A = this chain, B = another copy of it.
Amino acid sequence: MTRTDTTGTRPRLGRKRDHARDPEILEATLDILAETGYEGMTIDMVAARAKAGKATVYRRWASKPELILDAVACMKSSEVDFTSPPSTGTLRGDLVAMVKSPTLREGERKLKVMAGIVSMIARDPELAAAARAAIVEPRAQANLIIFQRAIDRGEIPGDADVETLCTISPALVAYRVLMLGIPVDREYLIATIDKIVLPAAGWQPPRL
């Protein structure tokens, strides 16, 4: 990524860089980012949170923007895997199965990070791309697969606007958390699925 590249140079002498510190520093960066936002975050805060020296941070990333870019990009590979969303046999079952506690927690953190960098997104295309790839796209992709399966099963019309359907849930969650300041819980998400997403998709329970 943007991380300072040392590979390819001559085999260096002296103590080896402890790459186990990399993810710790990146995680600390995301924590501080979520708490204080882009401008509010200082490298000293990150170093202190990661119990590292400031020089240790600058040995790996050349500047604050590069550290943040890398931290945001690394959110992409998270503990929750969105590439193979649950398959329960029904659209409603799949959507409800997406509402799990770890997914919720991770989503909330990603949203807070997003809130911290939103104002930069309009001015830094590279950061914008990283944020979308890490935060927005995984969920959208998972929803896309779920809706495509529903179309293949004949649960919803083939001409449904899947693109927009995929964004309803993430958009409502983001709006609720960032604009209204209300945390989302399982109950709200399931109510959203039943009252908004499924009706908008033109869904009928497969068996009466």
**Cβ contacts under 8 Å, A202 to chain B:** 199
Indicate how many identical chains form the complex.
Answer: 2
Among A67-75, A98-106, A160-168, the stretch that binds chain B is A160-168
User: Which of A136, A171, A181 counts the most B-chain CB atoms under 10 A from its CB?
Assistant: A171
Q: A196–B172 Cα gap in the complex (Å)?
A: 13
Q: Which residues of A41-74 are within 8 A (CB) of B? A: none
Q: By the criterion CB–CB under 8 Å, are B164 and A119 in contact? A: no
Q: A164–B193 Cα gap in the complex (Å)?
A: 11
Q: Which residues of A122-150 are within 8 A (CB) of B? A: 122-123, 128, 132, 135-136
Main secondary structure of the interface of A (DSSP, over half): helix
Among A3-11, A13-21, A32-40, A84-92, the stretch that binds chain B is A32-40
The residue in chain B whose Cβ has the minimal distance to the Cβ of A202 is B199
**Cβ contacts under 8 Å, A39 to chain B:** 37-40, 119
Q: By the criterion CB–CB under 8 Å, are B37 and A119 in contact? A: yes
10 A-B pairs with the lowest CB-CB distances in the bound complex, closest first: A37-B119, A39-B39, A171-B175, A171-B171, A196-B200, A200-B200, A115-B118, A199-B200, A161-B195, A116-B119
Q: List 8 A-B contacts (CB under 8 A).
A: A37-B120, A115-B118, A116-B119, A164-B195, A167-B176, A168-B168, A171-B175, A196-B196
Partner-B contacts on A (CB < 8 A): 36-40, 112, 114-123, 128, 132, 135-136, 161, 164-165, 167-168, 170-172, 174-176, 178-181, 191-192, 195-197, 199-202
